[in-house]
Amino acid sequence: MPALAKRLDRVKVAATVQMTIKARELRDQGINVIALTIGEPDFATPGNAIEAAHQAALAGETKYPPQDGVKKLKEAVQRKFKRDHGLDFALDEIAVSNGGKQALFNALLATLDEGDEVVIPAPYWGAYPLMVRLLGGEPVFVTCPQNNGFKLRPEDLDAAITPKTKWLMLNFPNNPTGAACSAAELEAIAAVMRKHPHVWILCDDMYEHLMYADFQHTTLAQVAPDLRERTLTVSGVSKTYAMTGWRIGFYAGPKALVKAMVNMQGQATAGVSSVGQAAAAAALDGPQEIVGQMRDEYRRRRDLVVDRLNAMPGITCHRPEGAFYVYPDIAGCIGKTTPKGVKIVTDEDFALALLDEGHVALVHGAAFGMSPYLRISYATDYDSLAEAMVRMDAFARSLA
């Protein structure tokens, strides 16, 4: 058999995917597993978005679209940035991608040279370092401790930047912790970045509309307009409008960077589904009440999960400002043994034993760069979450 590329040695299958596969295998054996692994809304896509896609297909909008996105969607994105953050972008500073993930990949592919460093606050979404390594870069992790709300401390950021740093990647609200930064906290980060003009700044705002307790989302280009010429802002419709399968992301930033990213996309996938773009435009421009309804339900689920976790022995859980994840600390469970005789040495041991003995699937914190923690997605129905918490509580109490 001919050889595969050596770059495959730099990456592995994401832990989230691995745990989802394990849960599916147990379900195939007839075991009732509750999976809290994937960050995918359980709500239906808004009807106006589905109808817009239908009408676009009927109208013949089924041909190759422009690589940077159809004008109707780009104009909707333009209005969205103005409406949400007071940001004015020209149409040639905006582009559409196959989900937000491709936007991140395009940005790194268009800018990273071998050995370039990318500063990634930890905990982080596991895809970030995997992408960086795949493209020959070096991830540099900066710990964001729980006692600081899982937020980036300016002094730690400053210490991590070197002449080889190419990007800083910010993700608020954060996956996996749900942490979000205020305008003042982002301004403190901006103050550091003004000292390092050779570094690009990427703001992954995919969870921007999932904010709780009157916490207002702010993005860096909004609080630091002087940094706009090196700031890329990424978002999409997947989380806000329960449109994960439509694969529509978008981004805005400096014209030259956006042009380079579109070029990279053209070499890989070219334009994005035309009917999907019609649906996304309808979601962005249509009634927004559904977003508030989903957010209210997520907040109810968050409070259920946080309260139940904090009542479990050996577990403490920070109450996050946004997204639909919690990131509980399980330090009090390390060193204990399960009823089946499994010694809990790591958070991965806990996650695997909970799946096997408690039939709840979640992801261990090491996959996101901080241990001993777990990531729990509460983007599933309330009753399933309640049952999962009952099972997890019984498992935690069974440890000896």
Q: How far is Cα 258 from Cα 323, in angstroms, rounded to an integer?
A: 27
Any residues with CB less than 8 A from the CB of 124 and at least 6 apart, and which?
141, 169, 171, 368, 369
- Of 234, 266, 285, at which residue does a domain stop? 285
Q: Which domain holds residue 93?
A: 63-285
Residue 315 domain-assigned? Answer: yes
Tell me what pLDDT residue 14 has. Answer: 78
Residue 211 domain-assigned? Answer: yes
Alpha helices in 194-341 (DSSP H): 220-223, 255-268, 274-285, 289-310
Residue 52 domain-assigned? Answer: no
**Structurally, how many domains does the chain consist of?**
2
Whether residues 235 and 376 share a domain: the answer is no
Whether residues 113 and 218 share a domain: the answer is yes
- Of 256, 285, 314, at which residue does a domain stop? 285
Residue 49 domain-assigned? Answer: no
* Bridge pairing between strands 325-326 and 200-204: unpaired
Do residues 365 and 373 touch, judged by C-beta distance below 8 A?
yes
Any residues with CB less than 8 A from the CB of 93 and at least 6 apart, and which?
252, 253, 254, 255, 258
Question: How confident is the chain (400 residues) per 10-residue block, as mean pLDDT?
Answer: 89 79 86 92 97 98 97 98 98 98 98 98 96 97 97 98 98 97 97 98 98 92 98 98 98 98 97 98 97 97 98 98 98 98 97 96 96 97 98 98
Whether residues 143 and 228 share a domain: the answer is yes
Tell me what pLDDT residue 19 has. Answer: 81
Q: How far is Cα 133 from Cα 376, in angstroms, rounded to an integer?
A: 26
- Angle at CA of residue 113, ends 157 and 163, nearest 5°: 35
- Of 285, 312, 340, at which residue does a domain stop? 285
- Angle at CA of residue 286, ends 76 and 232, nearest 5°: 35
pTM higher than 0.75, yes or no? Answer: yes
